[in-house]
């Protein structure tokens, strides 16, 4: 069966520090991968999605970036965090063929001080 791992679960960072969140998927090949941000009590904001290695599409301009160095690895990064980057970050995967659900990781709660 397929599983998705996301870490760390919680992160507290100072303003201006760098960020790296990692997500890996097991049990499937060539998944579509996604990064979402969820502000407290709000909906899901799609940040990036990827349909293959090295292929990244950005949905919202910001100081974040994403990379997919391997088929089942998706990384969210920032060189300098802003206060507004605080939130709950969710990685998700879906199959690449046809209409398929997205399956979410456990999320990373990021607090910027």
- E-strand ranges in the chain read 3-7, 10-13, 19-26, 32-38, 45-52, 55-58, 64-70, 73-78, 87-94, 103-104, 108-112
| Least distance in angstroms from the C-beta of 18 to another protein | 25
| Binding test (CB under 8 A) with another protein, winner from 51, 60, 82, 113 | 51
What are the phi and psi torsion angles at 14 (to 5°)?
-80, 155
Q: Which residue has the tokens 């292929």?
A: 55
Q: Considering only CA atoms, give the Rg of the chain.
A: 13
Contact pattern for another protein over residues 63 through 102, marking x by CB under 8 A: ---------------------------x---xxxxxxxxx
Contacts to another protein from residues 26-45, by CB under 8 A: 32, 34, 42-44
| Least distance in angstroms from the C-beta of 30 to another protein | 10
Chain residues that interact with another protein, rule: CB under 8 A:
32, 34, 42-44, 49, 51, 57, 90, 94-107, 109
């Amino acid at each position: 069966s397929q599983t998705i791992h996301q870490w760390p679960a919680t992160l507290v960072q100072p303003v201006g520090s760098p960020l790296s969140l990692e997500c890996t998927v097991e049990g499937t090949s060539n998944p579509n991968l996604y990064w979402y941000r969820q502000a407290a009590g709000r909906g899901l904001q799609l940040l990036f999605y990827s349909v293959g290695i090295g292929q990244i599409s950005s949905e919202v301009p910001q100081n974040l970036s994403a990379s997919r160095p391997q088929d089942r690895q998706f990384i969210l990064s920032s060189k300098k965090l802003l206060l507004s980057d605080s939130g709950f970050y969710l990685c998700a995967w879906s199959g690449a063929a046809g209409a398929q659900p997205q399956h979410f990781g456990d999320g990373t709660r990021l607090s910027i001080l």
